[in-house]
Amino acid sequence: MQVPTGDLLGLPDEIAPQKQLEQNKDFISDEDILLDKEQSVDPFDLKRIQQDVVQTGFQMESDNYSIAESRNSVNSKMSKESSQISPVSLKSPEKKMSPLSEQGTTAQLSDSTKSRLQPIPAEIDPIHFKLPTRKWIDKKSFMPLPTQDRIQDAFQKLFHGNATSKPQRKILTIEESLQFPDPYQQLVMARSWRALAQLVRNDLIATHPMHTDTIMRLWWLRWWALLRLSMFDVIQLEAEKLGVFEEVMLYEQHSDLFPGRTGPMISLELWIFCCLIPSFKGNHHESIHRLYQLLYTKPGAVSYRLDRLQRMRVLFQITNILLSMDDIMTAALLLEQLVDQFTGDAELWSCLGRLYLQLGEVQKAAQLFHKVECILGVAEPDAIPFANPLPSECPKPELLMSQRAFISLAKGQFTESIQTLTQLLSVNASDATIMNNLAVAQLHNGNVSQAANFLESMVIDFPIKVGTCEPFLFNLASMYDLMDKSNDKKRRIVKVIGKCVGDDFDPECLKL
What is the structure's pLDDT at 122?
64
CA-CA distance, 172 to 176, in Å (whole number)? 6
HSE-up (13 A, CA, CB side) for residue 109: 17
- 243-263 average pLDDT score: 89
What sign results for the dihedral spanned by CA atoms 257, 258, 262, 264?
negative
Q: What is the DSSP letter of 171?
A: E
Categorize the per-residue pLDDT at 168 as very low, low, confident or very high, splitting at 50, 70 and 90.
confident
Regarding predicted confidence, which is higher, 53 or 465?
A: 465
Please give the backbone phi and psi of residue 35, each rounded to the nearest 5 degrees, phi first: -90, 135
Of the ranges 52-61, 200-209, 218-227, which one carries the lowest mean pLDDT score?
Answer: 52-61
Of the ranges 89-93, 196-200, 297-301, 472-476, which one carries the lowest mean pLDDT score?
Answer: 89-93
What is the structure's pLDDT at 347?
93
Convert 148-162 to b/e letters by CB count within 10 Å (16 or more is b).
eeebeebbeebbeee
Span 484-495, pLDDT tens digits = 777 788 888 888
- Neighbour-count burial of 392, counting CB atoms closer than 10 A to its CB (0-12 exposed, 13-18 middle, 19+ buried): exposed
| 203 contacts 74 by C-beta, under 8 angstroms | yes
pLDDT for residue 161 is more than 70 = no
With a CB cutoff of 8 Å and minimum separation 6, the contacts of 118 are: 202
Of the ranges 28-37, 74-83, 396-405, which one carries the lowest mean pLDDT score?
Answer: 28-37
What is the structure's pLDDT at 38?
34
Which of the residue ranges 13-27, 84-98, 293-307 has the most confident prediction, judged by mean pLDDT?
293-307
Categorize the per-residue pLDDT at 116 as very low, low, confident or very high, splitting at 50, 70 and 90.
low
**Residue 45: closest CA among 74, 19, 14, 6:** 6
What is the structure's pLDDT at 508?
84
> How would DSSP label each residue in 459-483?
HHH-HHHHHT-HHHHHHHHHHHHHH
CA-CA distance, 46 to 52, in Å (whole number)? 16
What is the structure's pLDDT at 418?
93
- 5-18 average pLDDT score: 34
pTM of the model: 0.75
The single-letter code of the amino acid at 380 is: E
Categorize the per-residue pLDDT at 39 as very low, low, confident or very high, splitting at 50, 70 and 90.
very low
Q: What percent of the chain is modeled with pLDDT above 70?
A: 74
Give Cα 374 to chain centroid, integer Å.
31
CA-CA distance, 456 to 462, in Å (whole number)? 10
Span 310-360, pLDDT tens digits = 888 899 999 999 999 999 999 999 999 999 888 899 999 999 999 999 999
> How would DSSP label each residue in 90-151?
---TTSPPPP-EETT------HHHHHHHS--PPP--GGGTT-GGGGGG-GGGSPPPP---HH
**Residue 505: closest CA among 482, 462, 472, 481:** 472
Categorize the per-residue pLDDT at 135 as very low, low, confident or very high, splitting at 50, 70 and 90.
very high
What is the structure's pLDDT at 333?
94
What is the structure's pLDDT at 286?
95
| 3-class DSSP assignment, residue 9 | coil
- 144-168 average pLDDT score: 75
**Residue 133: closest CA among 244, 222, 224:** 244
